[in-house]
Structure 1
Amino acid sequence: MKPPRAVAALLALAALVAGCGPGTDDGSAEGRRTMHLQQGAEHADAILQETLGSVRPELKWNHGPGGSAGCTKGVAGAATGTGAADRIVTIMTIVSEQRRGSLLGVIERAWKDRGYTITNVNRSPKSPAVFASTPDGYSLSVEVGGEGQFFLKAATPCLRDTDVQQPLTPENTRRRPGPFPQRPDEQDEFWSATTPVQQ
């Protein structure tokens, strides 16, 4: 599938960051040889759904414009017969400034509980983010963009190159018209509240 221009650079970066590492649930050598990119994309979808499932109250979300790109090797950029894919979930729930840290913390703890490694934390007040990696080579992030909008992302390692289909998981809110990203517009009694979470 062809990604929009707005995410082309992101896809190229995802392919570079992901590297040509392992790409299966068990991390076995046999699995690394046989797993293909569509399977990897489906696993990335599952990771994002597990992450969303760890958040209560439930967030409203849509699929973002993920895509795929070939992995290359060396200065000349020789083709390797492998590719990397990324998936994006756009959070349509309005998360107030006072509750953003709490949501980031919930997601970070959920990743740690699953044995994922937190690789970086950006504590910028305007655009905080948490980055992680899984034992089988997937790169994850939760990032806060313009107007406080949350994005969840998962990128595969380099896997045997195949076509990649759109995610099949049903979104839990209507699709908005217009270019990506559509800004959050779903009020939530908890996440949209403008008071800090009581510790």
Structure 2
Amino acid sequence: MKGKVGRAATVLILVALASSCTKDGAEVSGIEGSRMDMQEAAERADGILDAVLAEIQPGVEWTHGPTTTGVCDVTRRRTVMTIVSAGRRGSFLGLVDRFWRKSKYRIKAVNDDVDVPAIFAQTGDGFGVSLIVGDKGQVFFEVDSPCVRESDVADPVTKPSGPSYAGIEVIPRPNVHSDFWSAGAS
């Protein structure tokens, strides 16, 4: 048993080292040798989010969530303001799952919880993508970059499809009714 634990610990250490990043971007996880900086990574994340939201038909209203940066990574978020009823969540997740698979994303995990379902995937160039359904059927999309060179990160240029909640600390619960996505919601 001790040998298995030791091997497992060694593997974890090697994985951590292989996926490490440095502040100057010398080591880049997921996109070996890339010179992508945080702004370019944010733009790539925006493109990933634009593509999945364009795929959702009928369309939904969404707003930007907060952008966050780490030492060598950036995260972009979008919050769906359209109510996705419990009866439509499976269809919504299925549509996104099929699109991500068609886009050659690797599905890393699926949470099939009735109340808080989620899908976690990764693009071929190392960006982590997730969809999480929260309270009242509110859907959250998030894209996390791999380690990239440090740089300033501008706000997204894509305009939200509904009201903007920029500067507001807490985005409200979903408040847009869709004849399709909100069907059966109370």
Q: What TM-score do you get using the length of structure 1 for normalisation?
A: 0.76
**Partner secondary structure for residue 185 of structure 1:** coil
* Structure 1 moving runs of 4+ over 2 Å: 175-179
For the pair 1:21 / 2:29, whether they are aligned, the reply is: yes
User: CA offsets per residue over residues 66-93 of structure 1, 9 Å max, x none?
Assistant: 21010xxxxxxxxxxxx10001000000
Matches within 5 A, 1:109-128: 109-128=98-117
- Give distance in 1, aligned partners of 2:147 and 2:168: 32
Unaligned segments of structure 2, at least 5 residues: 1-18, 21-27
Of 73, 79, 82 in structure 2, the residue corresponding to residue 90 of structure 1 is: 79
Deviations 1:46-104 (A, max 9, x none): 0000000111000100000121010xxxxxxxxxxxx1000100000011110011101
Deviations for 1:95-129, whole angstroms, at most 9, x for unmatched residues? 11100111011001000000000000001111110
| Structure that is richer in strand per residue | 1
1:1-199 mapped onto 2 (5 Å cutoff):
20-23=28-31, 29=33, 32=34, 34-70=35-71, 83-176=72-165, 178-194=168-184
Supply the distance in 1 between the matched residues of 2:183 and 2:102 (Cα, whole angstroms): 27
Distance 1:87 1:178 in 2: 16
C-alpha contact (below 8 Å) 1:61/1:89 kept by paired residues: yes
Contact 1:64 1:180 in 2 (8 A): no
Equivalent AA in structure 1 for residue 172 of structure 2: Q
- Alpha-carbon RMSD: 1.7
**Cross-structure match for 1:11:** none
SS state at 2:97 partner: helix
Structure 2 counterpart of 1:114, which letter? S
Give the residue type in structure 2 aligned to 1:148: G
Q: Provide the TM-score with structure 2 as the length reference.
A: 0.81
CA distance in 2, matches of 1:107, 1:136: 19
Distance, in Å, in 2 between the alignment partners of 1:159 and 1:67 is: 14
How far 1:179 moved relative to its partner? 3.2
Distance 2:152 2:67 in 1: 13
Question: Percent identity among equivalent residues?
Answer: 37
Aligned to 1:5: none
Rg (Cα) greater in structure? 2
Q: Distance in 2 between matches of 1:170 and 1:181?
A: 16
Aligned residues: 159
Conserved? CA contact 2:83–2:136, under 8 Å: no
SS at match of 1:159: coil
> What is the distance in 1 between the residues matched to 2:61 and 2:129?
19
